[in-house]
Amino acid sequence: MERDCDAIGIVLALAGMTTPSQVLGVLARRAGALGLPTYAIGTMPAPGAAGPGDRFFYHNWPESWPETYAQRGFAAIDPTLRAAARSLVPLTCSAIKAGRAGFVPDAAQCAMFAAAEALGMCDGVIVPLFGPHGYQAMACFVGPGPEPTPRVMAELHLLAIHGHARLMALQHGTTMRSDTVIALSERECAVLRAAIHGNADARIGRDLGISLRTVRFHFASIRHKLDAKSRIEAIAKAVSLHLIQG
């Protein structure tokens, strides 16, 4: 009972938070205490997209995962996206791997799971999220484990629903606040610095030793973090916030 009351308290606290960084901090701390510290939450990407196509997307993935995901074309075969698109309830990664999400992962999908496990993302929970007019989002919490119990899944389900709702309200109901924490990765900063000089995506990829798809993935992430509608706006905001030098 004590844990149930604590969960209700967290939901109420989420509703009163005023910045995305506060909400994401709660998600990371609570899920981390359950052995699943890595999260991603936001709008489901369009089929075949190399990364999140909507600016409403938050994550704390390891630095190497977005590049691996893009370079190996995992977006086209990602079994977690397929499972989330056809389920109404949370699913564990082990359930998906065992074929309990309505399909049996093929060799390419198993390779994606293996790549995630190599980075310590061995267990996890996928939470489908739905809204009006066909809107679909998802949240995932992954990490070294242990394997999520039904009680852990229920807690993460609650965090995903209310965390997503608060993030959505903050992003679409307010502009970027001065106290919002913005952190670009070293690779994202390198991509922006190359873009300042007018380099095309292909040139940026060659100079940084990454694929064209990965360059575009980073730009999508940068625009999301800076709430920028275009690359030019993202560069201007990054310079004004002293994230890169102009």
Grouping H, G, I as helix, E, B as strand and the rest as coil, residue 157 is: helix
Residue 167 counted as domain residue = yes
Mean pLDDT (10-residue bins), the chain, 246 residues = 59 87 92 94 74 72 89 92 92 96 96 96 95 87 94 92 90 53 82 87 92 90 82 80 75
Supply the DSSP symbol for 44: P
Residue 180 counted as domain residue = no
> Any idea of the CA torsion for 200, 183, 139, 28, to the nearest 10 degrees?
160
Choosing from 173, 207, 229, the residue where a domain stops is 173
Q: Are residues 228 and 161 in the same domain?
A: no
Choosing from 173, 206, 229, the residue where a domain stops is 173
Q: Are residues 49 and 147 in the same domain?
A: yes
Nearest to 225 by CA among 206, 241, 204, 209: 241
Quote the pLDDT of residue 66: 87
Residue 160 counted as domain residue = yes
Please report, in angstroms and rounded to a whole number, the separation of the first and last CA atoms in the chain: 55
Q: Are residues 131 and 155 in the same domain?
A: yes
Q: Are residues 202 and 167 in the same domain?
A: no
Nearest to 42 by CA among 139, 162, 174: 139
CA distances from 185 to 25, 50, 62, 67, 188 (A): 18, 18, 10, 12, 5
**Pairing between β-strand 123-130 and β-strand 136-143 as defined by DSSP bridges:** antiparallel
Whole-structure pTM value: 0.71
Q: Are residues 133 and 190 in the same domain?
A: no
Residue 181 counted as domain residue = no
Q: Are residues 166 and 116 in the same domain?
A: yes
Q: Are residues 125 and 190 in the same domain?
A: no
Nearest to 109 by CA among 139, 135, 129, 79: 79
**Phi, psi for 180 (deg, rounded to 5):** -75, 130
Q: Are residues 208 and 134 in the same domain?
A: no
Output the domain CATH number for residue 190. 1.10.10.10
Residue 178 counted as domain residue = no
Q: Are residues 168 and 91 in the same domain?
A: yes
Quote the pLDDT of residue 178: 42
Output the domain CATH number for residue 10. 3.30.450.80
Q: Using CA atoms, how far apart are residues 92 and 114, in angstroms rounded to an integer?
A: 15
Q: Are residues 162 and 236 in the same domain?
A: no
Q: Are residues 164 and 62 in the same domain?
A: yes
Beta strands in the chain (DSSP E): 38-43, 57-59, 91-92, 123-130, 136-143
Provide the residue type at 27 as one letter.
L
Q: Using CA atoms, how far apart are residues 42 and 90, in angstroms rounded to an integer?
A: 15
Quote the pLDDT of residue 142: 97
**Phi, psi for 130 (deg, rounded to 5):** -130, 155
**Pairing between β-strand 57-59 and β-strand 91-92 as defined by DSSP bridges:** unpaired
Quote the pLDDT of residue 54: 55
Quote the pLDDT of residue 90: 96
Quote the pLDDT of residue 134: 81
Residue-range definition of the domain harbouring residue 18: 2-173
Q: Using CA atoms, how far apart are residues 99 and 106, in angstroms rounded to an integer?
A: 10
- Say if CB 42 and CB 57 are below 8 A apart: yes
Residue 246 counted as domain residue = no
Number of domains composing the chain: 2
Q: Are residues 14 and 75 in the same domain?
A: yes
